[in-house]
Structure 1
């Protein structure tokens, strides 16, 4: 008599997820064959980029007559499979104009794939730091900052649960044909009740975008997301990477450098040279000061995303920040590292 195969917790999770999703009107299930056909068998010519847990390919779905981006999780990546399940569960429930739309999913025979709407203008980091000839104009940059603020406000305060993204960075901010923001990659996201404070989740994310207290304690929070948002706004204004060292003889990173210029009343020197002084000075001042406010070393001195968005929309006054960057104070214990998973997932150059 044949023995029945025991179901693993992962198999049971996938089965219940299938049932939940197939009942809804959201993303649909695709077969592996469908997606292999759509991407010319995941050919290198179709590859759009490579991240920590897999590659993304351009695909064409004939039955929907639409171009898509197909993310294929590396086989054997336990963390990748975990992120796949988190992403499908969370992003399939969310609805916002500044979120990348999840079109479908597939887990056939140990293969895990996600299907997204295709973004013709790629990711923000390629425009800010890539070799592309044309720099983003200032109005487009300001629009991107407002779009990112808008979707973060939705995630933190306007959905039924609070969603802490945990990996806000320029390479996860996609741009559609009109350069509207589409925030993607919810593989590290966590759902929290609105009333609860920071949760100990283990440290994951990307160096340069992670709040100092999060690296130290492993407690993800709305404040740590706001910090990442602040870093991105400074990158947008300066055209410099968060991890760059500013100047040959300087040990300063991006935040320290901008804060130093702010203290001297010279922050316009930080504006991306590729803009050739073609920008709105009032908006530049606003974006940089909000960026510094959001990256304040003390999380209790950061704004909520709602407060930051109000200032960016000129609906509230600019904050008064100290001339010198404050030194962070810590009282929390250092987390112990458990599980076989990496403590920090760094992907500074990962992806597109």
Structure 2
């Protein structure tokens, strides 16, 4: 690191990473993985009581902050597609280009960082696991954040790359709407719905317009918005086998983007 360089430091407790061996395993996996939309690990420090990861600093904040601020500003559909595409590309790389395949296991807006140009970077591999050989799923303790965790993961601790797809779908639904994964309004207005069940209800009832932030729906185009909603719902199918792969998500987003550049 050069003098005066601004960095981001993540402090991990022993409980978070299950001790120094787990921390070292995380470091080894992080240091060998490189992709334009993955956060760059530039250093670390480890002791028996404290552990730190040092990342390159991104001035645009987190996607969580972006979603919160989006409620009071106009966010273009193309910006949403770009962010969604960047995160999808990072996950597709982890799932398909790494050997062994890497699962993130905690995909959520606070684990996506933005630069000043709103390019998105996936961060926080502290909960990731490597899939041995050609196994398509592993059984393990649940990691992740309530509201983003796939049903089969929460109920049976069964995790596969389709669990990451589910979490990604929740995040996509947040990006296009003015709701959060477990929005407070759901408990009073919609009988305790999650964003997934809420969006699915609106689709069933032909009220898809209500799934979008008002400014986003008004900026259109409608077909592109509906395609994004349907992609988010496809990613959050209850059955893991019904969800697309992240490679398929990337392809779908490219097709949606082409609506702006026919």
Q: Same fold (TM over 0.5)?
A: yes
Residue matched to 1:78: 15
Superposed counterparts of 1:105-116, under 5 Å:
105-108=44-47, 110-116=49-55
CA displacement at 1:109 relative to structure 2: 6.7
Task: State whether residues 102 and 114 of structure 1, in contact with CA within 8 Å, keep that contact through their aligned partners in structure 2.
Answer: yes
Partners in 2 of 1:256 and 1:131 — Cα distance?
22
Matched, 1:163 2:102: yes
* 1:170–1:86 CA distance, 2 compared to 1 (3 A): farther
* Greater helix fraction, Structure 1 or Structure 2: 2
Q: Answer whether contact 1:87 1:185 (CA < 8 A) is retained.
A: no
Contact 1:233–1:291 at 8 Å: present in 2 too?
yes
Where does residue 189 of structure 2 map in the other structure?
249
Q: How many residues align?
A: 252
Query: Structure 2 CA distance, aligned partners of 1:218 and 1:147?
Result: 28
Structure 2, gaps ≥5 residues long? 257-262
Residues 157 and 194 in structure 1, CA contact (< 8 A), matched pair in contact too: no
**Distance 1:193-1:286 versus aligned 2 partners, 3 A rule:** farther
Whole-Å separation in 2 of the counterparts to 1:247 and 1:274: 24
Q: For 1:32-43, list aligned pairs within 5 A.
A: none
1:59-74 correspondence to structure 2 within 5 Å = 63-74=2-13
Partner Cα distance (2:217, 2:207) in 1: 16
Contact 1:127 1:136 in 2 (8 A): no
Distance 2:65 2:15 in 1: 29
State the TM-score, normalizing by the size of structure 1. Answer: 0.67
Q: Aligned equivalents of 2:208 and 2:127: distance in 1?
A: 34
Matches within 5 A, 1:285-296: 285-296=226-237
Larger radius of gyration: 1
Partner of 1:325: none
CA RMSD in angstroms comes to 2.1
Q: Name the residue aligned to 2:90.
A: 151
Deviation digits for residues 95-134 of structure 1, max 9, x if unmatched?
Answer: 1000010011112574311110111011001111258854
Q: CA deviation at 1:178?
A: 1.0
Counterparts of 2:67 and 2:102, CA distance in 1 = 27
Cα distance in structure 2, aligned partners of 1:248 and 1:174: 32
TM-score, normalization: structure 2? 0.88
Per-residue deviation, residues 181-200 of structure 1 (Å, max 9, x unmatched) = 10000000001135102101
In structure 1, stretches of 5+ residues that fail to align are 1-60, 316-352
Alpha-carbon distance in structure 1 between the residues aligned to 2:87 and 2:118: 12
Residues 1:131 and 1:303: Cα distance change in structure 2 (over 3 Å): closer
In the TM superposition, 1:1-352 aligns within 5 A as 63-74=2-13, 77-80=14-17, 82=19, 84-108=23-47, 110-130=49-69, 133-193=72-132, 195-244=134-183, 245-246=185-186, 248-251=188-191, 252-275=193-216, 277-314=218-255
Distance 1:68 1:256, change over 3 A: same
- SS class of match (1:296): coil
